[in-house]
């Protein structure tokens, strides 16, 4: 059985994320990292920018809205992601084959399975050749499904949303909708087929094993429990997928883990580099074991009840070694970095270069302050 050290695993993950040496292809990098979390769009832009040489947030936006090599939709865990458009058949095939989200099933369900199917079909028809706001889409869904779809019964942020909206994640999973460009301050939705002409979802039995292999390429070696947490599925589901995806068992410091069959290549040398990763960056969320990625003080300060992503992190040699925060005023970007230990001169220099790179990505003028970050985690 192939045996790896933890240092080798970290070096491999950094290389495959474009965090050891910058990548050159924007869409390919987003594909390799299994998507960039985009609930906070500026964080997605920084997440991609820190991995791809020379690009700015304008390049990410151009790839999304003009070139359409990226698509904004719901990805792993039902959260908003930027995904490579070329990967849409795989993503929708895999996500569409998963069980319904816990909040939409059992006693929590606001619709029958038949009504969910009606809503998904109505959404697909309404968005086929259109970009609609939430209010406009609600009117279209109600017109196609009936008044029940518009009843304001879904609890949401101290308000109530129309019933049909409980099926929005399912509609995204099945490839019926994605995000369109904002109309002023209003979010719009449209059809993924406008990004990928001729788009159809792959069969689930093909797409799910491929998603497992893609995950392991970026985050492996890993276990079914790690994959279950990343995708927000039950561990039994994950174990069954690992058993049928064509994987190879290895060990990491003596503990069992898995990679795609034959994918045992490791970079030469130890993990190196200083990086500033934004909120919800894929590396921190997808990499396990948590206690090794977020050791000691990092586990107390940079996690929220064990959850990664709520704090922007300072990564040193592939391990979380601090948190940071930015405050923007016009073109000025004030960056505060709280390191969890003393940074030697070479790392301080690298940190300064990272702050300058962040300014380039976000098209602003950055300044660096070393000190305590007093702002809480992102909700």
> What are the tens digits of pLDDT across the range 162-211?
999 999 999 999 999 999 999 999 999 999 999 999 999 999 999 999 99
Contacts of 188 (CB under 8 A, 6+ apart): 131, 132, 133, 179, 180, 181, 182
pLDDT of residue 156: 82
Q: Which helix (H) or strand (E) holds 193?
A: none
- Return the structure tokens found at 215: 């995950």
Does residue 291 fall inside a structural domain? Answer: yes
Q: pLDDT tens digits, residue range 297-337? A: 999 999 998 899 999 999 999 999 999 999 999 999 999 99
Q: How far apart are CA 255 and CA 201, in angstroms?
A: 36
Q: Are 110 and 93 in contact (CB under 8 A)?
A: no
| Virtual torsion, Cα 9, 13, 16, 18, nearest 10 deg | -140
The number of distinct structural domains making up the chain is 1
Distance CA 378, CA 40 (A): 10
Residue 99 banded pLDDT, cuts 50, 70, 90? confident
Domain that holds residue 356: 274-370
Per-residue pLDDT, averaged over 356-376, amounts to 97
Does 305 map to a domain?
yes
Band (157; pLDDT cuts 50, 70, 90): confident
Does any domain span residue 286?
Answer: yes
Is 82 within 8 Å of 74 (Cβ atoms)? Answer: no
Q: Is 8 inside a domain boundary?
A: no
Within-domain flag for 20:
no
**Residue 314 pLDDT:** 98
pLDDT confidence of residue 360: 98
First to last CA, the chain: 42
Task: Give the pLDDT band (50/70/90) at residue 47.
Answer: very high
Closest residue by Cα to residue 264 from 18, 12, 32: 12
CATH code, domain with 322: 3.40.630
Residue 379 has pLDDT above 80, yes or no: no
339: Cβ contacts below 8 Å, ≥ 6 apart = 314, 321, 322, 370
In a domain, 92, yes or no: no
| Integer CA distances (angstroms), 212 to 87, 95, 275, in order | 14, 12, 27
Mean pLDDT in residue range 277-296: 97
Q: How confident is the model at residue 247 (pLDDT cuts 50, 70, 90)?
A: very high
Domain assignment present for residue 30? The answer is: no
pLDDT at 104: 76
Count Cβ atoms within 10 A of the Cβ of residue 147 and give its class: 0-12 exposed, 13-18 middle, 19 or more buried. Answer: exposed
DSSP symbol at 222 = B
Structural domain includes residue 169: no
């Amino acid at each position: 059985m192939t045996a790896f050290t933890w240092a080798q695993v970290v070096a491999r993950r950094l290389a495959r994320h474009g965090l050891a040496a910058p990548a050159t292809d924007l869409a390919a990098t987003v594909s390799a990292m299994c998507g960039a979390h985009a609930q906070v769009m500026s964080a997605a832009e920084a997440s991609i920018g820190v991995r791809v040489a020379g690009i700015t947030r304008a390049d990410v936006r151009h790839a999304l809205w003009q070139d359409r090599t990226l698509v904004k939709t719901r990805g792993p865990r039902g959260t908003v992601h930027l995904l490579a458009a070329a990967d849409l058949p795989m993503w929708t095939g895999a996500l569409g084959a998963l069980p319904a989200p816990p909040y939409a099933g059992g006693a929590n369900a606001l619709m029958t399975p038949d009504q969910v199917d009606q809503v998904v079909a109505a959404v697909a028809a309404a968005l086929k050749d259109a970009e609609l706001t939430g209010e406009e889409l609600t009117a279209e869904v109600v017109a196609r499904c009936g008044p029940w779809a518009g009843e304001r019964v879904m609890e949401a942020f101290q308000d109530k949303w129309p019933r049909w909206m409980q099926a929005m994640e399912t509609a995204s999973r099945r490839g019926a909708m994605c995000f369109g460009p904002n109309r002023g301050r209003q979010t719009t939705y449209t059809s993924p087929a406008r990004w990928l002409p001729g788009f159809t979802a792959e069969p689930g039995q093909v797409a799910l094993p491929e998603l497992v292999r893609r995950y392991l390429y970026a985050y492996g070696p890993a276990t079914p429990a790690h994959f279950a947490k990343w995708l927000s599925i039950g561990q039994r589901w994950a174990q069954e997928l690992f058993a049928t995806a064509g994987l190879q068992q290895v060990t990491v410091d003596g503990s069992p883990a898995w990679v795609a069959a034959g994918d045992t290549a490791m970079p030469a040398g130890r993990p190196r580099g200083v990086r500033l990763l934004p909120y919800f960056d894929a590396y921190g969320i997808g990499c396990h074991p948590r206690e090794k990625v977020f050791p000691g003080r990092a586990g107390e300060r940079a996690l929220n009840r064990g959850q990664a992503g709520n704090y922007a992190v300072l990564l040193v040699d592939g391990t979380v070694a601090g948190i940071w925060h930015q405050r923007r005023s016009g073109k000025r970007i004030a960056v505060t970095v709280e390191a969890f230990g003393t940074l030697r001169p070479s790392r301080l220099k690298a940190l300064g270069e990272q702050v300058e790179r962040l300014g380039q990505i976000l098209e602003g003028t950055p300044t660096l302050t070393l000190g305590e970050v007093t702002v809480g985690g992102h909700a």
